[in-house]
Each structure stands twice: as structure tokens, then as C-alpha cells.
Amino acid sequence: MVVNRMWVRRTAMMSPRERGRLATMPEVVVTDEQSEREDSGEREGSVSHGLGSPQLGMSFQARRSSFTYTSSHSASFPARMSDTPDRIRAASAHLSISEKHARVLLPLDTLAPMQEVDEEQLVGIGVATAGPALALSSPPKRGSPTGPSGLSRLIAGERERSRSRIRESGAQSPIATDLEGGENERIVHSPMLQERSNLLTEPTRPAYGATRSTTDETITIADVLPISSSPSDPPKLSWKSTRTLVRSKIQEYTSPENLQLILSQTMTAIPAVILGMLLNVLDGVSYGMIIFPAGDIFDGFGGIGVSMFFVTTFISQMVYTFGGSAFDGGNGSMMIEVVPFFHMLTTQIIAHVGEDNPQAVVATTMVAFCLSSILTGLTFLLLGVFRLGVLIGFFPRHILVGCIGGVGWFLIETGLEVAAGINDEDGFQYNLDTFKLYFMNKHNLMLWLPAFGLAVLLRIITHRFHHQLIFPMYFIAIGVMFYIVVAMSGVDLQTLRSGGWVFDVGGSTEPWWHFYTYFDFRQTSWSAIWAGMPTQLALLFFNILHPPLNVPALAVSLNEDNIDTNRELTAHGISNLLAGLFGVVPNYLVYVNTLLFYRVGGGTRVAGFLLACSSVLLLFIGTGPISYIPVMVVGALIFVLGIDLVKESVWDTRHRVSTSEYITIIAIMLCMSVYDFVIGVLFGIILACFFFVIQNSRRQCIRALYYGDTSMSTVRRPSAHRQYIREVASQTAILRLQGMIFFGSVTYVESTIRQLIDIANWHKRPIRFLVVDLALVGGLDMSSAEAFVRVQRLLAVKRVTLILCGVQAGSPVGKALQQVDLWADRGTGVEVFGTLNEAMEWTENVYLRAWFSSLERKKLETQSESNAQPVEREPGQKLPFILGTSYINSPRRSHLVKAGERLMADADDGSGIPPSPEHTNQTLREPTFCLLKTFSSHTNDTELMNKLAAYFTRVELQSGDILWRQGDQPDGLYVIESGVLQANYDFAAHSAPVQESMTAGTLAGELSALAGSPRNATVVAERASVVWKLSTGDFERLEREQSEVAKSFVRLVLKAAKTDYDVLLSALATRH
């Protein structure tokens, strides 16, 4: 007889207090008709379904509050977890004593959660170290023998006491690690403490790249003492005190010792200043000459470009020298990569204003160039002040490499135009006429081919020889050889200028500041300025990518460890802002020039100041000497840089980047060469995004897929319960996801889930739960979240419960799930837990409860049939999930029933203990029954357990009591009769502790007690518990009095311990 409505009463097994505990368990209503139709895929909307059978918005009727889930979903309820860890643990404790012989009844609804354990406060010693003192005292010698002073002994004693407190508390503090002495230390020196100390130390950083000799920093006693516990406000100085301080500083800096030092540094820096000046001359002539494009409007503007180059170089050099940069000898110069963008701006201005108004074109061009400096300066300044320099690192490097390659190709094109003397206002064109002009015209070929050959020859030489003077001396030698050949041939300069061999500046004697006369705001076309803003933004975007790349690379090459990128960005912002206000072009810190400057001895502020003075000297000399510079020298310089940039982009990256990145680099170069730079940058970004989507969609976002029989929870259960769970947990599929899941990768997840419930796989391994672990997922987009909604609907048809874990309500993943109404407080048919262990423990509790409820229902049905009266259930009370009497057509239910009958149905109480005369006719005493339950999978020898029981002592624990701490010496082993103990394994400071719960019918501390080794975990009573203790002394007494019983007991303990630790290891292995 099938009873669909009945009042569930527990007779022998359930007391009123246990009924309250039962209310905390998930409940499901099921009928036998549904049991038979479970796997058919039919859907019913009027009834609740069985275990793991949610019906389009239905899930287990988890009675966490006064309401139960309904099929109507309301988004107004806040999202929260399906159950709390405390309640899940309560269910585990209840199930561990679900048998009729239990002597202790735990009212789970009245138990408080585990109390926080008081931890000892650990106090460390903070040591503040300062930079090198201004005093010019020499550092101590390495070999000077010194003994520790009284102050050092005092600090050492305090540190040792701190270490002792840390060791006694059993904690490992990072402070203790930091205070450990080591070989890498700095010397602390002062006139009062003539000693080496490892107390006030700072770990030395490794040196990268080229090495140079360094000396130990000198730290005075005032820099390190006193050690203040809290920072205080700086003292306010009066006007008189400030004036006195300034006067003392002036006297200090103008002292004979400092003047002597400055003179010494000046003499040392002369070679570096000469080299830096030569590099500035070469760069200024080469790139200053091409700031303005070729054409009639800008004819003769080469000298003006050179003047603007030296002005912006001087401004940047002064900013970097006087404290703006952490590089004492940093070299500032014009940002030559902006030249292509300048030509684009000029072309747009000419098209907007018209060639018939050259004054307006020139005035607008000058304002546009200044605006680019101001925008660059403001951007750098904001990034530096708000410390946002790290954001630039998120930009794909290969796009920048492609842009650099495009600039290099542009410089090669410019080198051809400058060397051949061809002025085409439309720019370099890729057509047959251009090919004939450069390759079929013998005169033009003789102009640019020597310059290109000289550039190639220089790179061949520098490939074998690496001296820093090769580069400047090579171009000086070219100029000398050119005029030697000219003198031998007897050709005059005018003929050379007319033939394009020497620059013709028209005999200009204009001063360096003449370019200011071209500023005319009345002639400026502001509409043309606005029309050129897209190009300005592209120029700005390209400018801000250089310093964050150059600064770290330069710091590595110069072994400078204390370089702040945000400080360098601020310095770039100030220098560019000043450059824009002074009417010149952008600038930046030059990597190559600075590196050469340092290697020749220019790594001081004095050398940087002298280099800035040389720029002023070159300004006052004027542009007259340009008319004597051979064109092939400038052309070769432009070719050298262009070839270097193209080589860096195309050749050097061929084995360093992926195929998609290399295609992006080549595509950007081609797009910049054929069209323009703005389109090239945009095309590169689009192409990078396209390849990013393809690559990430191919990357597997599924970290692992396994089943519950290989990944159980870290809860120690009675051996019979554990064997049953291991058998039936194969119906729980666990899917661990990782990374960022988006529309390109979620399709793989969805297809994998579809394969799990495919008809072929379903007959081999039907599932009841699908646990999706999202702990390693960084985020979900809208498409991915909606895909999970489709998955839930698909699983609901098969009556498979979707369980999400590893997600919090306020996390990005949690918010994404809530936005698509997949995670709500009721009516979604989805269970959500904080961790994978909680989810697995919840599913295991459901499996156990299903079996126990089925046994209880059989008893009630038998009673109702004998009385010929149906048993009614109370209004509002749901029937717990049962397996039913008809499960032939249900593979999942059949699996559960057969496993339960084989592993747990030896006794009608489900304890797993076979009935015997000793406890069928009388009630067993504790701890005999507790021992039988603990070792039920290995023995049912009641006589043996009775002999052992005499050596155990009953111990009652309150919630929060600490049974032992990690590292303590063992005092015995424990058998848990009731309650829950929690073991916390703290293996290392950098890893999260591992938690293991131990319920009734399990052992605690068995291996350490038998081995005599220190405890490897801290065990706390999570709930009020009763345990039976076999102390070390009692065990020794057992060995003396009953050696055979002791041996049998040890074998049983080892068998149980192996099972427990196998489960724990498998759980940990599958969670990483």
C-alpha cells in the first residue's frame, strides 16, 4: 500500500528534541509515481519532486526559515547561501548518531556555533631605515673588527624575547621571518656605533644587467634612532627658523669641501658631457630637420625645427637634473617618435585651411605642436600624481612593438626623402612612379644609397664591437672623409648644395628664438585644431607608452633599485607641460643616450647640469653650421634609427611572440605604412581583441571534472556511513571552473554539461547532483551567466540539482548570477554554498538522510498496515525524501537502495553494526557501543570491545574547548560518542589552514598517540561533545595486562586511520 500523505512520527529513534533537529535538514516530497517516472524526463508542475529532482525552479525544500521553496520565482528576495556551514555541520552531527543505541541527544537547534579561540597578541619590533646621509663620511672598511655595543645587545635581547614569545604561542609570524639574520645585510655605521650589525638591516636587492662598483650606504645614528611607535606631525618652523635653516644649507653647500667635490665631479663629467653634446647634435640635426614636412609652405623650416629640438631638450634636461628624475645623469631629448604624427597633423591643417593661406597654416601648426606637449604633460602629471603608472602596463606590449615598427618604417621612408632631396607634399607614395624616382634615377640613387650603405655598415660594426664611442666617432669620421673627398675633387660648396649633397638653408642667420614669431593666435584656425584632435589623441596614446617601458629597463641596466615609475611620470609631466608653455614639442627620458652617458662617467647631477648648459650653447651658436653638414650624415642617422626600430619589431620578435601576436605586429606596420598611424593603432587594437577572444575561447576553462566517490568532504564519519557515501556519491558530478568565463569560453562548459546528461552517458553513469565550483573563476559576463540559466533548465528536465559553490553574494561572479535571477533566495532550483567542502558535505548528508528516512517510512507503513489506518502528517510538514518501494525503472534510486542494503542495512537502525545476542536482548553500555560503531567495518567482536571499554575515560567538552594544540605532546587517543570536533591543520604561513570535522563514531588523535609524535593539528570542540579517552598511561597498562587485546586494537585503529586519511588526502588533492 502506497501512502502519499502521512504524519511522520519517530517512535524508537526520534524524540521531540530530535524532531527539532530534523527541521534543519533539507526535505523533499516524493511519490512513487514520480519515482517510476523520474528518469523519463516528464515534467510536473503541481507536485514537489524527490532527491535531486528540481522541477523548473524547484529544489530541495531546505527549511532554513519559516518558508519553503515554491515554483514561483520572485526576484525581490535577496540572494544568500543555501545553508550555513554551522547548520550543515549540525546535520552531519545528527546523522552520525542516527541509530537507536545513542545515549546522548544533541538538540541541534540550540547549539551555538564554535566560539572564536583567543589568540595571543604578537608584537614585533619595527625598524625604520633612512637613505644615505648628506655627510661625506667614508663607509667603514669590510675588515674592521668591531664588537657589539650596549645598544646592539639591548635590541638583540628584545628581538630574542619576541622570538621566544612567538615560538611559545605556536604561531609563525612574518615579523619573525623578517627579523631572522642572514648573509645579505647592509652595514649600519655611525660615529657612535663603529660596528657592523645585523639588527638594523635591509635585504640587498639582486643586481641585474651590467654591473658597476657600489659602496655601502652610510647611515647616521640620527637616521635610525629613536624608533617611534607612531608617526607625529612635522614641527612647524617659524620665519626666523626657516631663514636660519636656509642660511645653514647655503653655507653647507658652499663649503670648501662641497665646492671641491663639485669641481672633482665636473672634471670627471667632461668626457660624458662631450659625448652627450655630440649625441644631441646628431639627433637635433637628424630629427629636428624633419619636424616640419617637406613642401613649399614649410620650405626652410629645418633650422626652426632644430631650434625647437634644443629648447625642449634643455627644458627636459633641467627638470630631470634638478630632482625631477631619480636618475642623476638622465638625458632628456625630443620625443622623435612623434614626427609621423606631426606630419599627419600638418597635412590635416593644410587640407582644412588651404594652401593659399600659408600664414594661417604655419600659425595653426605651431599651436598644434604646442598642444601636443601640453596634453602629454597633463596626462603624465595626472598619472604620476595619482600613482596610476601601473595602468599603462595593462596595454598589450605587442601593439606597442607594432607601432614602433611602423615608426621605424616611416623613418626609413623619411631617410629616403631627406637623402634624395625629394619634397612631396603628399608624402611617400607606393606606386610605380615612386619606384622609378628612387631606383631608376641615377642621381637620386647616388644620393640615398651611400647613406643607407653607411647605416648598414655601422650596424655591422656595432654587432661585433660594442664600445660606446663608436657611434659618435663614426659619423664624425663620415663628415671628415666627405670634406677630404670634396677637397681632393675641387668642388665648391654651392655646387654641392645645389646637387643635394649638403644642406641648403638659404644663408639664414635667424636667431634660435625666431620660431616664436610664427605664433599668431589671430591667424590660428581653431576649427582645424579641433579637427585634428583624433590624431592628437593617437599621438598622446603613443607618447604615454614610452616612459613606463624605458624607465624600468634603464633601472635594470644601471642597477638602480629604488626607482619609482610614478615619480618619473610626474617629471615627464612637468617637462612636457613646460615645453608646451614654451612653444616646443614633447620630450622624454632617452634610454640609449642616458645609458651611454652613465658608462662614460656622467651619472651625477653636475654632469646633467653641464649637459643642459651645452644645449644652451648650441642654441646660441644657431643654425648656421647646418649648411655645412653633409646630407648623407643626416640620412644615415635617420636610416640607422629606422632600421633599428624595424629590426626590433620584425626580426627580434620572430621567436619571442606567438603567431597571432606576430601577425598583429606586421599588420600594424603595414597599415601605418599604407594608410596612417591612427588607423594603424586602431586596427592593431581591434586585431589584438580578435585574437584575444580566439585564444581564450580555445583555452579550457574547466580545471577538472570528477565524481563524488573520488572527492568526498573532509568530515570523518562512521565507517559504515563512509562506505555508503563512497558508493552512492558517484551520482555527484563535480565541475571545477577557472579563469575568466565569457561568451567565447562558456560554450565549452555548456557542451561538457550536455555530455554528462547525454543519453549514452546517462545510462552508464546517471547523476543526481552537479556541483559547479566557481572559486577560481575571476568573472562572468552576461552571456556566460545566461548560459548557466540554460544549463539549470536543462538539468531540471533530468531532475538533477545544480549546486554552485566557491562564490560570495558580493563578488563579481555572485552579482552576475544574481542579475540573471539564477541566484535568489527562493524558487530558482539552485543550491549555493561558500566552499566546495560545504557543498560536498551537504550532498553527503542528503544521501544519508534519504536512507534513514526510507527505513523510518518502512516502519511507519508497517504500523499503519497492521492498524488498517493511514498515518496522516501534520499540516505544513513536508515528508522527508524516501527511496520508495518502486525503483525498478529508476537507475539512480536503484543504486541507492542496493548500496544501502549491502552496506548499511545489516541492522534496522542503519548503524552498520550486525545484530548479536549481546545487544539484541539488552542495551550495550558505553563506550562498548561507541567502539562497535567506530570499528563496525572491521569487526563486530563485542567481547573485544567490552575488554577495551574498561580502559577508556569519559570526557565532556563544551563548545569552543580546545582538546589539544598543534605541536603538543600526545596524551592519548579519543573515540567520539557525540558532537563534532574540528581539526585545523596549519602547515605553512603562506597557505590556508586545512579543516577536518570529526563526528560521532570516529577516532581523533590516534596516529600521534600511537607513534608518540607531536600533534599535527589543533582540535577544538565545535559543539558540545562527549568523547572517550584512552590515555597514554592506560594504553601502556593495556599492553601490560592484555597484550593480545592491545595488538588487535592497534590493528583496528590503523585500519580506521588509513581510511580516514585516504579520504582526507583525496579531498585535498582534488581541491587544488
CATH number for the domain spanning 773: value is 3.30.750.24
User: Cell numbers at residue 925, please?
Assistant: 553500555
14-28, 152-166, 397-411, 672-686: lowest mean pLDDT where?
14-28
Domain end among 812, 827, 858 = 858
Whether 866 maps to a domain, the answer reads no
User: Cell numbers at residue 500, please?
Assistant: 643635394
CA distance 1065 to 425: 75
Question: Who's near 12: CB < 8 A, 6+ residues apart?
Answer: 100
200-209, 479-488, 579-588, 771-780: lowest mean pLDDT where?
200-209
CA distance 961 to 973: 16
For residue 226, whether the previous peptide bond is cis, meaning omega lies within 30 degrees of 0, is yes
- Do 770 and 624 reside in the same domain of the chain? no
CA distance 520 to 359: 9
**Reported confidence tier of residue 202, pLDDT bands at 50, 70, 90:** very low
**Reported confidence tier of residue 1009, pLDDT bands at 50, 70, 90:** very high
Backbone angles phi, psi at 962, to 5 degrees: -95, 120
CA distance 78 to 814: 12
Burial category of 316 from C-beta neighbours within 10 Å (exposed 0-12, middle 13-18, buried 19 and up): buried
- Do 966 and 833 reside in the same domain of the chain? no
Domain end among 858, 885, 905 = 858
Residues β-bridged to residue 832: 804
Mean pLDDT (whole number) for 397-414: 84
CA torsion sign for 536, 537, 542, 548 is: positive
- Do 670 and 724 reside in the same domain of the chain? no
344-348, 847-851, 899-903, 940-944: lowest mean pLDDT where?
899-903
How many domains does one find in the chain?
3
Question: What value does the mean pLDDT of the chain take?
Answer: 75
Backbone angles phi, psi at 16, to 5 degrees: -55, -35
Are the C-beta atoms of residues 1026 and 977 closer than 8 Å to each other? yes
Backbone angles phi, psi at 995, to 5 degrees: -110, 140
**Reported confidence tier of residue 740, pLDDT bands at 50, 70, 90:** confident
Q: Is the pLDDT of residue 203 over 50?
A: no
- Do 663 and 715 reside in the same domain of the chain? no
- Do 740 and 852 reside in the same domain of the chain? yes
Strands 61-62 and 26-27: antiparallel
CATH number of the domain encompassing residue 963: 2.60.120.10
Query: Model confidence over 922-944: pLDDT tens digits?
Result: 456 788 989 988 888 888 889 99
For residue 927, whether the previous peptide bond is cis, meaning omega lies within 30 degrees of 0, is yes
- Do 540 and 682 reside in the same domain of the chain? yes
Whether 920 maps to a domain, the answer reads no
CA distance 549 to 538: 18
Whether 241 maps to a domain, the answer reads no
User: Cell numbers at residue 389, please?
Assistant: 603608472
Q: Which pLDDT belongs to residue 253?
A: 67
CA distance 308 to 284: 9
Are the C-beta atoms of residues 1031 and 687 closer than 8 Å to each other? no
- Do 346 and 477 reside in the same domain of the chain? yes
Q: What is the DSSP string of 1001-1015?
A: T-EESHHHHHHTPPP
Q: Is the pLDDT of residue 152 over 50?
A: no
Whether 876 maps to a domain, the answer reads no
**Reported confidence tier of residue 70, pLDDT bands at 50, 70, 90:** very low
359-363, 432-436, 770-774: lowest mean pLDDT where?
432-436
CA distance 508 to 497: 14
- Do 581 and 433 reside in the same domain of the chain? yes
Q: Tell me the three state secondary structure of residue 833.
A: strand
State how far Cα 1024 lies from the chain centre.
42
Query: Model confidence over 286-326: pLDDT tens digits?
Result: 788 889 987 788 888 888 998 999 999 999 999 999 989 99
Residues β-bridged to residue 424: none
In single-letter form, the type of residue at position 61 comes to: Q
Question: Who's near 1003: CB < 8 A, 6+ residues apart?
Answer: 716, 934, 973, 974, 975, 976, 1053, 1056, 1057, 1060
Whether 823 maps to a domain, the answer reads yes
- Do 732 and 684 reside in the same domain of the chain? no
In single-letter form, the type of residue at position 450 comes to: P
Among the ranges 32-46, 114-128, 202-216, 610-624, which has the highest mean pLDDT value? 610-624
Q: Which domain holds residue 984?
A: 927-1070
595593462: which residue's cell? Answer: 394
- Do 555 and 636 reside in the same domain of the chain? yes
Are the C-beta atoms of residues 588 and 571 closer than 8 Å to each other? no
Are the C-beta atoms of residues 593 and 380 closer than 8 Å to each other? no
CA distance 273 to 610: 7
- DSSP E strands, 933-1052: 953-957, 962-964, 972-978, 981-985, 994-998, 1003-1004, 1018-1021, 1025-1031
Q: Which helix (H) or strand (E) holds 644?
A: helix 631-646
Q: Which pLDDT belongs to residue 852?
A: 82
Whether 886 maps to a domain, the answer reads no
Strand arrangement of the beta sheet that strand 1025-1031 belongs to: 953-957, 1025-1031, 972-978, 1003-1004
Residues β-bridged to residue 801: 769
CA distance 1019 to 123: 26
Q: Which pLDDT belongs to residue 300?
A: 80
Question: Who's near 570: CB < 8 A, 6+ residues apart?
Answer: 324, 380, 381, 384, 385
Mean pLDDT (whole number) for 173-190: 37
CB atoms within 10 A of CB 632: 27
Q: Is the pLDDT of residue 140 over 60?
A: no
Q: Using alpha carbons only, what angle is made at residue 682 by residues 677 and 684, rounded to the nearest 5 degrees?
A: 95
CA nearest neighbour of 408 among 589, 633, 639: 639
- Do 609 and 733 reside in the same domain of the chain? no
pTM: 0.54
Residues β-bridged to residue 981: 998, 1021
Are the C-beta atoms of residues 322 and 598 closer than 8 Å to each other? no
Query: Model confidence over 600-647: pLDDT tens digits?
Result: 788 899 999 999 999 898 888 876 777 788 888 888 888 888 898 899
Domain end among 858, 886, 910 = 858
In single-letter form, the type of residue at position 436 comes to: K
Q: How many CA atoms lie within 13 A of 277 on its CB side?
A: 18
CA distance 123 to 229: 12
CA nearest neighbour of 878 among 89, 49, 74, 37: 49
Mean pLDDT (whole number) for 515-534: 93
Whether 165 maps to a domain, the answer reads no
**Reported confidence tier of residue 122, pLDDT bands at 50, 70, 90:** very low
Burial category of 138 from C-beta neighbours within 10 Å (exposed 0-12, middle 13-18, buried 19 and up): exposed
CA distance 796 to 790: 10
User: Cell numbers at residue 584, please?
Assistant: 616646443
- Do 674 and 758 reside in the same domain of the chain? no
Among the ranges 251-255, 790-794, 888-892, which has the highest mean pLDDT value? 790-794
Strands 972-978 and 962-964: unpaired
101-105, 207-211, 650-654, 758-762: lowest mean pLDDT where?
207-211
Whether 549 maps to a domain, the answer reads yes
User: Cell numbers at residue 948, please?
Assistant: 577495551
Are the C-beta atoms of residues 305 and 291 closer than 8 Å to each other? yes
Burial category of 112 from C-beta neighbours within 10 Å (exposed 0-12, middle 13-18, buried 19 and up): exposed
Q: Is the pLDDT of residue 118 over 50?
A: no
